Amino acid sequence: MTQTSDNVTWLTQEAYDRLKAELDYLQGPYKVEIAKKIEAAREEGDLRENGGYHAAKEEQGKMHARALQLAQMLEKAQVGTPPTTASGTAAPGMVVKIAFDGDEDDTLEFLLGSRESAATDIEVYSPQSPLGSAINGHKVGESASYELPNGKSISVKLLSAEPYTG
């Protein structure tokens, strides 16, 4: 369902289809649409002071970057099914709840996976993130530590790990 290494992105069939449709749109109809916007703005005259032209070119750049991102992700994608039973182990495709420094009241719940896999508003942490890699593979009740950007280490305890149901 989500990234498990730097080279593979695990996606559900639904997520793959959704991302493929977005890529097809960006490389087809949207590409034609933005080219028409640029041409129309170009015909307005002086390009140095043409806000519509510059906005369209910026939009084209963002579209191109997103299309490249999607193409690379889909090229490396492995399509599979997310976990359907609670294993009690933090893994990609699981919604996990952790407590910071053993404080059961200071908790965080998130999907361990790829932002591209989540079609809802749930917070997502990549398995390659410091927190994600620290808890990945740990069982409920176990603790793990990871390094913060300021160089300090923090300990978390895994409280739950349930399959993501979308």
Which CATH number characterizes residue 21's domain? 1.10.287.180
pLDDT of residue 84: 52
pLDDT digits (tens, 9 = 90+) for 71-119: 988 887 777 665 555 678 888 878 899 998 867 788 999 888 776 665 5
Residues 69 and 110 placed together within one structural domain of the fold: no
Supply the range of the domain harboring residue 118.
Answer: 94-163
Among 53, 79, 105, the domain-final residue is: 79
pLDDT of residue 81: 60
CB within 8 A of 39, min separation 6: which ones? none
DSSP string, 114-156: -TTT--SS--EE-TTSHHHHHHTTPBTT-EEEEE-TTS-EEEE
pLDDT digits (tens, 9 = 90+) for 6-52: 445 667 777 788 889 999 999 999 999 999 988 888 887 777 777 88
Q: Tell me, yes or no, whether 53 lies in a domain.
A: yes
- Whether the per-residue pLDDT at 155 is higher than 90: the answer is yes
Structural domains of the chain, count: 2
Considering the entire predicted model, what is its pTM?
A: 0.58
Percent of the chain with pLDDT over 90: 29
